[in-house]
Structure 1
Amino acid sequence: MSEKSWLECYPKEVLPNYDYPKQNLAQFLNDSAEKFPEHIALAFLGKKIKYKELLDETYRFANVLKDLGVQKGDRVAIMLPNCPQAVIAYYGSLLIGAVVVQTNPTYMEQELEYQLNDSGTSILIALDLLFKRIQRVIPKTNVRNIIFTSIKDYLPFPKNILYPLTVKKDGLSMDVTYSEKVHSYKHLLKSALAIPITVELDAETDLALLQYTGGTTGIAKGVMLTHYNLVANTIQTRAWCYKSEEGNERYLAALPFFHVFGMTVLMNLAMRLGGMLILLPKFDIDLSLKLIDKMKPSTFPGAPTMYISLINHPDVQKYNLSSINICISGAAPLPGNVQERFEKLTNGKLIEGYGLTEASPVTHANNIWEKRKLGSIGIPFPDTIAKVVDPETGEDVENGNVGELLIQGPQVMQGYWNQPIATSETLRDGWLYTGDMAMMDNDGFFYIMDRKKDLIIAGGFNIYPREIEEVLFKHPAVMDVVVAGVPDEYRGETVKAYIVLKEGVSTDANQLEAFCRERLAAYKVPRKYEFRTSLPKTLVGKTLRRLVVEEEKNKGFVE
């Protein structure tokens, strides 16, 4: 394993080692604004923002935070979809040395309360549509200030006029009650000065990001990523995309920036290269096809579900997709037939990669233009070492044998926020223990065989069974429950709940789904329910989730 046989498969344009500047991650934006001030940085539903304008507004936002008392090391939560404000708030926070806490806008109250409290967030930037939900949570936290913004703040005329009508039609509300601690993004930015702010920091030790991820316990953990971690992973990704040209790339930003994959391979990479981010607040296949046809993106990172939607769209032949050169698929396994059909349709390259939040996130990828292997996650990135070990003994396994995947590299996290025990279990002797079972072949290509953890990956989102079980256990009719991932042709996996009801009490799948939707983000809600008289357990009463999964596999169950 120590031979690094994968280096023989590197393209000549990719070096095995690079120098990673010890700088603020936001320096990528500063540099591109200096090189390409007139280039379009953001394209948002008809609105275009140049790099010099983006930097100007980012400086303004940084000064807004400073005026609100935010200091180096304070946590700033961003609860936004892909929109200009999400980019501005992200880099503005970094400029003053704050730590960004990316928060999924679909989080329900319980999830939001936990993350804000665990991170010690002092200020939250959120969408006006979320006001009522946030208003109920904030009194239970130590958040001092909230800044609300609206999608319409950056929409061009007449979309900015029509947007409120659409929102009202959908039964949503843009109403916000402002106060001493509840502020308007638009008003704050308008009155702020665009004075450059430079905060001295140690890129290798100062945190840029607390990115929350979970585990088999169901307790979300804040992954501590430094400026250096994220700078390194951005440069590694840029090296892999060696044909990408500075100042000349367009990125279809369908992956959410609050997901670390979208944050690195879209937002940070685009800023590094002076590229254009074509922003989608949420993935919509019809809008995506129209934008590809009209805006001509060259790069389209995504999750397999996005590519499946595209190749199966009934009107896909009506659109010109020939601008797409590079697609990096992550967050879930990429089916081989999807890769082949997509490439035939677009003439671009679609490759599978691998990463995890704890590694900023990318560690492996197939070559884009050189040797690659279907079904493989590819080979390790520059300066990244990977090996496969026996999960019991810790000894290296022979090529072709399955074991736990371990990783070293400059992109690996510092640990979990305020969780020293979890950190010591995952970071050992300089290695990141991924919890994924893998195999390496003689060429140095890696394959993910199974998950050691009980993590479910559905549509690119990480879902943790314990969290869903805890919600279902609160239902008055539920006596016992176990949640597992089952195969799904579209999402890769989907969530299934196995339920044992209390004696003499009844409920059905529709009622359980409604119960979950009030308490969980939509992507976590089980899509399938099976009612049983009992669940398999150990002698000490622990439910055997793996046995349930095996029973499901034995059914040959794929819907």
Structure 2
Amino acid sequence: MPSTPPAPPHPWTRLHPAGVPADLTPSSPTLLHAWRRTVAARRDRPAVLSFDRTLTFGTIDAQSDALAVAFQRSGVLPGDRIAVHLQNDPQWLVTLLAAWKCGATAACINPMLRREELRHHLADAQPTVLVSLDSLYADVVAPLRAELGVRTVITTAPWDLFGDAAPPTVFAETWGPRRIFADTVDWLQLQADHAGAVPDPVDVDPADVALLTYTSGTTGRAKGAMNTHGGMAHNVQVYASWHSIDPDDADQPDVVLGVAPLFHITGTVAGLGLTILTGAPIVLLHRFDAAATLEAIERHRVTFTVAASTAYNALASHPDVLTRDLTSLRKAVSGGAPLGPALVARVAERAGWRLLAVYGLTETTSPATMVPPGVDPPIDPASGALSVGVPVPGADVRIADIETGEVLGAGAVGEICVAGPMVVPGYWNAPEETAHAVRDGWLFSGDVGVLHEDGWLFVVDRKKDLINAGGYKIWPREVEDVLLQHPAVREAAVVGVPDEYRGETVHAYVSLRDGTTAEPAEIIAFCREHLAAYKYPRLVSVVGDLPKNASGKILRRELRTTELPRGGTA
């Protein structure tokens, strides 16, 4: 980032919620230090709530001690990688803590990856140990193990931490019977062999790499962002302070709902991290299911969650939203995918939740900006984008020229750049990509946005998704926001496709709400009423579901490269 004069005091400091300082120092230098403090104070208190079962902090601590001992005895050294290949199950928290107790780095692996995708992640991380769901091992992991030199594989079933209790029926078709393999270590046997053992003491430094969190790959091959212990401690503290997370609140104790996948940076920071730092229990439901999630909010009196807008859309569209008591959820944060005014209004009407946007990336260890509680975010009059908030404590946000990288003034459209303790030092084994993305401590995000004088940030779109139709520049998000205002449209995604006359033209893919119908011509006509002539889609395809990654972000690149049904034209 080119040098600039010192920035004046941020005028947005008045917007920060009471009690959140502009300069924030984490209460613990790392989350491992925080865990030790939390366990000492809350050993017999609930740490994980899963359906109708509860695990205490003491149980999680003992299990992670036993696993850490097993890691050390298998030869794991500080700095080694331990791959975590699990769904949102309690074993995720146990494995994460065990890795840190050995000074190792947890490599977060998406359990939805197929064999070729998994090959890339494991070849990049080169883990010493892999902890995997038994249901994934035989078909996905085993064929790659010898090729990639993974020395030890530990397999576990989702319900392993709950003893002889019967698993919930909601995922009965995917739980299956426990599977034990001759060439893996069984979780339950490992825990029995090392019960009561304590690992050799290892400390971690804030600069050490806590996680390898792989970028979502929405624009290309995933890269392993090196999230540090210090960066994680800072941003977990941001969430805790910003939203006043307090498990001992006299009126309503905070309970965290883990909707975001735990292998995603938001899942670890705004989910597991909050439990580690504050002692607020976390609700884990294996994977996202709208009915199970709504039931859990009511059962456990959930107060806080971070989820993608697509998840909130699914929850608000489910019929159970009208019969469940969801009033406990007072802190509903949306990130990872665009949040438009139409969806905000729909969720408020159907579920009663006031969604607050957060903007961040894997490379910023989750939040860089957030909407303060109790504040209505503005809408950018030029782009129609709903603000994603103001910079969080410690973060500096600027807009740079997309071509030159020069700093632009307030109100200019350019690339969003972030600096602060939450920015990663780079990508694992990728010096060229690191040099391109992180320059003099500034992360060049690849997102295009506008920063107003009062500090409100607006995300316009991804730089690579810009559509050039006959010389006119079109940002897909603006068209998608209009599509979502159509009463029949549930989800929408817009891409540019080749056009002989205009070079590119706008192609919209939409899915419809249950019980509704809409023809492509009708949707095109609706857009013509609300958009300039060069912006409205000439092609509309109605599909069952739009392709998404595990965090709920719609994958536009798959729409560009995968042949899906094409609808009407205009």
TM range (shorter): 0.7 to 0.9
What SS class does the counterpart of residue 300 from structure 1 fall into? strand
Contact 1:216–1:453 at 8 Å: present in 2 too?
no
Q: Is the 8 A contact 1:22 1:203 kept in 2?
A: no
The answer as to 2:263 corresponding to 1:258 is yes
1:482-501 correspondence to structure 2 within 5 Å: 488=510
1:233 corresponds to which of 232, 235, 238: 235
**Counterpart contact for 2:247–2:279, Cα < 8 Å:** no
Instruction: State the alpha-carbon separation in 2 of the partners of residues 163 and 183 from structure 1.
Output: 28
Contact 1:149 1:186 in 2 (8 A): yes
Per the alignment, residue 377 of structure 2 pairs with: 372
Residue 55 in structure 1 maps to residue 61 in structure 2: yes
What CA distance in whole angstroms lies between the structure 2 residues aligned with 1:254 and 1:217? 24
1:267 deviates by 0.8
Aligned residue for 2:397, secondary structure, equals strand
Percent identity, aligned pairs only, is 27
Q: Which runs of 5+ in 2 are unaligned?
A: 1-5, 380-385, 467-475, 481-492, 496-503, 514-543
Counterpart selection for 2:146 from 139, 151, 162: 139
Corresponding position of 1:548: none
1:27 pairs, out of 30, 33, 36, with 33
Residue in 1 that maps onto 2:484: none
Cα RMSD over matched residues?
3.4
Q: How does 1:162-311 map to 2 (within 5 A)?
A: 166-167=172-173, 174-179=178-183, 182-192=184-194, 193-195=196-198, 197-204=200-207, 206-213=208-215, 218-242=220-244, 244-246=246-248, 248-311=253-316
State the 1:173 CA deviation: 6.7
- Structure 1 position 449 matched with structure 2 position 460: yes
AA at the equivalent of 1:19: T
Distance 1:427 1:176 in 2: 44
Please give the secondary structure, in 1, of the residue aligned with 2:155.
strand
Deviation at 1:527, TM superposition (A): 6.6
**Equivalent residues, number:** 483
Q: How do 1:104-183 residues align onto structure 2 when only pairs under 5 Å count?
A: 104-132=110-138, 133-155=140-162, 157-160=164-167, 166-167=172-173, 174-179=178-183, 182-183=184-185
Q: 1:265-318, CA deviations, whole angstroms, 9 ceiling, x for partnerless residues?
A: 111012211011111111101111111121111112111111111222223221
Q: For 1:270 and 1:485, locate their aligned partners in 2 and report how far apart those are by CA, in whole Å.
A: 43
Matching residue of 1:315: 320
Q: Distance in 2 between matches of 1:195 and 1:336?
A: 52
In structure 2, which of residues 405, 426, 437 is the aligned counterpart of residue 394 of structure 1? 405
Tell me: CA distance 1:80–1:526, structure 2 relative to 1, closer, same or farther (3 Å): same
DSSP 3-state at the match of 2:464: coil
After TM superposition, give the deviation of residue 29 of structure 1 in Å. 2.1
Deviation at 1:486, TM superposition (A): 5.1
Cα-to-partner distance string for 1:61-107 (whole Å, 9 max, x where unaligned): 11111111111001000000011111100111111100100101111
Task: Decide whether aligned partners of structure 1 residues 554 and 19 sit closer, same or farther in structure 2, where only a CA change above 3 A counts.
Answer: farther
Shift of 1:30: 1.7
Residue 77 of structure 1 corresponds to 83
User: How big is the shift at 1:176?
Assistant: 3.2
Q: What is the distance in 2 between the residues matched to 1:20 and 1:282?
A: 30
1:178 Cα deviation from its structure 2 partner: 2.1
Residue 395 of structure 2 aligns with an amino acid whose one-letter code is T
Secondary structure at the aligned position of 1:26 is classed as: helix
Matching of residue 91 in structure 1 with residue 97 in structure 2? yes
Q: How far does the alpha carbon of each residue in 1:339-368 deviate from its partner, in whole angstroms, 9 at most, with x for none?
A: 233334454432011000011121011112
SS at match of 1:301: strand
| AA of the residue aligned to 1:84 | P
Is the contact between residue 206 and residue 228 of structure 2 (CA under 8 Å) also seen in structure 1? yes
Deviations 1:458-514 (A, max 9, x none): 9xxxx9x9xxxxxxxxxxxxxxxx9x99554689xxxxxxxxxxxxxxxxxxxxx9x
Deviation by residue 1:445-467 (Cα, 9 ceiling, x = unmatched): 00011211359999xxxx9x9xx
Contact 2:77 2:104 in 1 (8 A): yes
Q: Report the Cα distance in structure 1 between the residues aligned to 2:56 and 2:220, rounded to whole angstroms.
A: 42
Partner Cα separation in structure 1 for residue 24 and residue 130 of structure 2 = 36
Measure, in 1, the Cα distance between the counterparts of 2:257 and 2:553. Answer: 24
One-letter amino acid matched to 1:187: Q
Write the mapping of 1:447-526 to structure 2, written as runs, cut at 5 A: 447-454=458-465, 488=510, 526=558
Number of the residue aligned with 2:473: none
Q: Is the contact between residue 47 and residue 154 of structure 1 (CA under 8 Å) also seen in structure 2?
A: no
Which runs of no fewer than 5 residues in structure 1 stay unpaired?
466-481, 492-512, 533-551
Q: Would the aligned equivalents of 2:31 and 2:277 in 1 still touch at CA under 8 Å?
A: no
Equivalent of 2:44 in 35, 38, 42 = 38
- The answer to which of 62-71 and 307-316 deviates more is 307-316
Give the direction of change, closer, same or farther, for the CA distance of 1:236–1:485 in structure 2 (3 Å limit).
Answer: farther
Cα distance change, pair 34–531 in 1 and its aligned pair in 2 (3 A): closer
2:247–2:255 contact (8 Å) kept in structure 1: no
Distance 1:397 1:43 in 2: 47
Please give the alpha-carbon distance, in whole angstroms, between the structure 1 residues aligned to 2:567 and 2:449: 20
Q: 3-state SS of the aligned residue for 2:307?
A: coil
**SS in structure 2 opposite 1:137?**
helix
Out of 56, 72, 84, which is 1:66 matched to?
A: 72
**3-state SS, counterpart of residue 121 of structure 1:** coil
User: Secondary structure at the residue paired with 2:62?
Assistant: helix
Q: Is the 8 A contact 1:90 1:100 kept in 2?
A: yes
Contact 1:59-1:197 within 8 A present in 2 as well? no
Q: Is the alpha carbon distance of 1:214 and 1:41 closer, same or farther for their aligned partners in structure 2, counting shifts above 3 Å?
A: closer
Indicate how the Cα distance of structure 1 residues 159 and 69 shifts in structure 2: closer, same or farther if over 3 A, else same. same
Residues 88 and 261, structure 2, Cα contact 8 Å, conserved in 1? yes
Q: TM-score, normalised by structure 2?
A: 0.77
Q: Residue 51 of structure 2 contacts residue 296 of structure 2 at CA under 8 Å; is this kept in 1?
A: no
* Deviation string, structure 1 residues 365-424 (Cα, Å, up to 9, x no partner): 111223533511100000110011212233322222201111111010011111111111
Q: Assess if the C-alpha contact under 8 Å between 1:350 and 1:368 holds in 2.
A: no
Report the equivalent of 2:499: none
Residue identity in the other structure for 1:350: L
The 1:529/1:104 distance shift into structure 2, 3 A limit, reads closer
Q: Aligned ranges for residues 412-431 of structure 1 at < 5 Å?
A: 412-431=423-442
Residues 310 and 383 of structure 1, relative CA distance in 2, 3 Å threshold: same
1:8 matched residue in structure 2: 14
Larger relative contact order, structure 1 or 2 (CA cutoff 8 Å, min sep 6): 1
Relative to 1, partners in 2 of residues 1:313 and 1:347: Cα closer, same or farther, differing over 3 Å? Answer: closer
Cα separation, 2, equivalents of 1:287 and 1:83: 14
8 A Cα contact 2:83 2:131, kept in partner: yes
